[in-house]
A = this chain, B = another copy of it.
Amino acid sequence: MTDIATRVYNHKWKIDPIVRSLLDTDFYKLLMAQTIFRRQRDTRVTFSILNRSKDIRLADLVEESALREQLDHARSLRLTRGESTWLRGNMFYGKRQMFAPEFIEWLEGFQLPAYDLRVRDGQYELEFDGPWLETTFWEIPALAILNELRSRAVLAAMGKFELQVLYARAMTRVWEKVQRLKALPGLQIADFGTRRRHGFLWQDWCVQAMIEGLGDAFTGTSNCLIAMRREVEAVGTNAHELPMVYAALADSDAELAAAPYQVLRDWQEDYEGNLLIILPDTYGTTHFLAAAPSWVSSWTGIRVDSKDPIEGGEEAIRWWRERGEDPRKKLAIFSDALDVTAIERIHYHFAGRMRFGFGWGTLLTNDFRGFAPDGALDPISIVCKVVSANGRPAVKLSDNPAKAMGPAAEVERYKRVFELEERAERPVLV
């Protein structure tokens, strides 16, 4: 029995929007936005998309008009009444009223700002320039749109049966991963896969798989919309953009050296508990920890991102011990290019030595590796990063030189200020 109304409705869509809600973004964007709202309302920041997978020529795969339609649709979105109610009424990290009424009022009037799109050498040059408070909101939807448009371009050539088999295989793969994770005693794992997801519906399915398969070991999703709809925790803390902007705004080398700690000083005025997670790798973890003021070691935990996870975790444990802290009361969050084998290795390595959790991203929500010829659905490494703040260039060094960004002269200056030694590059997977 074909429902003619449904069929006609489906066929009259002008576009199939990828981002349908302002809450289809990562929770830490809201946390950071509130901090920016309070302290940096006049700061202008430019974000720029960078596709590190140069051989994937996105502008050849995805029509510019289709990309513009999706970006324009995202710009048309406003916070809905129900979404606003959820932000006001929901408990986040065990706390009510995480967001101040004046911030939510501002958010209710918010729309994504203008974008600047050009094509060069088969790649999209996509930039967002404007008040930091506004441009920061583009990162996640812009990446999700690019990734899903690329998936759709590949899926467009497939027949109905082929698609069914594709998703059956993908579901089987995720479910087998979840079953392996289930075997890890005391596991704590969250979905961090919004930006690089295969598609929105797929991320939503992956979250359901985690809910069904992991029970309490699943600690939540970074995606606010999915957290709201599936009634699970919204999770996340803060990102490199905070120290990058603070650093870019510094007027002297001394201010630059102090900038990453100023971020934490501001953050702990706004948040507490499990939201006090240091992200130490923006300009090199080792120096960051060594030079950190004493109050920093009282924070709840550390996110280990661009460094080899075993090395990064061991470094955190050593540091806590040196600072007189008990690592078993501290929390490490691992979040870089994780898949099940790495999670198992990290889990058994650190079991009992500290508290830790995983933020599982791309290889949860976009592991279609090998499911299309020539790896056409394999995830790509694409990021949206701060390139300047109030006209000054932004720099990221990270623990992996392959992830360094910024003008060469500034990179050298930062290396000097943050006493960064030469390190070996690690391949950037996703």
Contact = CB atoms under 8 A, between A and B. Distances in A.
A162 B212 contact: yes
Contacts of A175: 165, 168-169
Interface in A1-51: 1, 3, 5-6, 9
A167 interface: yes
A392 to B, nearest CB: 50
A381 to B, nearest CB: 27
Nearest to A208: B161
Contacts of A161: 208-209, 212
Nearest to A10: B1
A171 interface: yes
A85 interface: no
A80 interface: no
Contacts of A165: 171-172, 175, 209, 212
Contacts of A5: 1, 3
Interface in A177-220: 208-209, 212
A161 to B, nearest CB: 5
A298 interface: no
Nearest to A211: B161
A169 B179 CA distance: 13
Contacts of A168: 167-169, 171-172, 175
Interface in A144-177: 159, 161-162, 164-165, 167-169, 171-172, 175
Most B CB atoms within 10 A — which of A168, A171, A175? Answer: A168
A209 B162 CA distance: 9
Contacts of A167: 168
A139 to B, nearest CB: 31
8 contacts: A3-B5, A3-B6, A165-B171, A165-B172, A167-B168, A168-B171, A168-B175, A172-B172
The 9 closest A-B pairs by CB, nearest first: A168-B171, A3-B3, A172-B172, A168-B168, A161-B212, A169-B172, A165-B175, A168-B172, A1-B6
Interface of A: 1, 3, 5-6, 9, 159, 161-162, 164-165, 167-169, 171-172, 175, 208-209, 212
Given A1-B6, A3-B3, A168-B175, 17 more contacts: A3-B5, A3-B6, A161-B208, A161-B209, A161-B212, A165-B171, A165-B172, A165-B175, A165-B209, A165-B212, A167-B168, A168-B168, A168-B169, A168-B171, A169-B172, A169-B175, A171-B172
